[in-house]
Structure 1
Amino acid sequence: MSRLLLVVLLLANVGTAIGVVYARHLHRQSFIELARLEKTRDELNIEFGRLQLEQATVAESNRIDAIARTRLGMKFPEASDVVVIQP
């Protein structure tokens, strides 16, 4: 009877040890995935900041006005060229 109890306790101990090793393995895999995802998040945040800065630069009204004048030959209409339509 005591031998059976000893064998059962030994198997329970080995099973628990295997469970702990497996849980630690899963924890390490999860931690590696978390670190990878955090790195990706940080890279995306940096890229988003760059894109916001680029958008602010491209959408600046002085720049748009200069491009309209130089590349497209646009200008503000003279007062004599403005026609007001009454409803």
Structure 2
Amino acid sequence: MVKKTMLREKYWLKQVAVIVVMILVIMGSAFMVVNQVFNYRHDYRIYNQLAKERDDLNAEWGRLLIEQQTFGATAQIGTRAVTQLRMYSPPASQTVVVSIK
């Protein structure tokens, strides 16, 4: 009889130990899921900030390209005026300043 009760106690202790281990495993898994979701949201927020910065830099790059083409066109127009149309800036002796009083 004493042996049976000891066996029942050991069996009951094993069941309690298994239940405690299962609860700890489930809680650990839950904390890991929460941590993964937090990391995902943090990384996604950083990704969105970097994507916005990329878009801003692309827009600025486009504006700089337009500005470069504008300044390049000005020099090209001056060169073509001299070579093709034989235009030139008159010397100071041929310049007349008109003032309105």
When the two structures are superposed, what TM-score results if normalisation uses the length of structure 1? 0.74
Deviation at 1:25, TM superposition (A): 1.0
Taking the aligned partners of 1:65 and 1:58, their CA distance within structure 2 comes to 9
Give aligned pairs, total.
75
Note if 1:19 corresponds to 2:7: no
> 1:45-64, CA deviations, whole angstroms, 9 ceiling, x for partnerless residues?
1111111111111101xx22
In structure 1, list runs of 5 or more residues that go unmatched. 82-87
- Residue 79 of structure 2 aligns to a residue whose secondary structure is coil
- RCO (CA 8 Å, sep 6+): is it higher in 1 or 2? 1
The reply to whether residue 52 of structure 1 matches residue 46 of structure 2 is: no
* RMSD of aligned Cα (Å): 1.9
Greater CA radius of gyration, 1 or 2? 2
- TM alignment of 1:29-40, pairs within 5 A: 29-40=35-46
Matches of 1:48 and 1:66, distance apart in 2: 24
- Tell me how far 1:13 sits from its aligned partner: 0.2
Q: Which runs of 5+ in 2 are unaligned?
A: 1-6, 87-101
Percent identical pairs in the alignment equals: 7
Q: TM-score normalized by structure 2?
A: 0.65
Moved >6 Å (runs of 4+): none
- Which residue identity lines up with residue 43 of structure 1 in the other structure? Q
In the alignment, structure 1 residue 76 sits paired with structure 2 residue 82: no
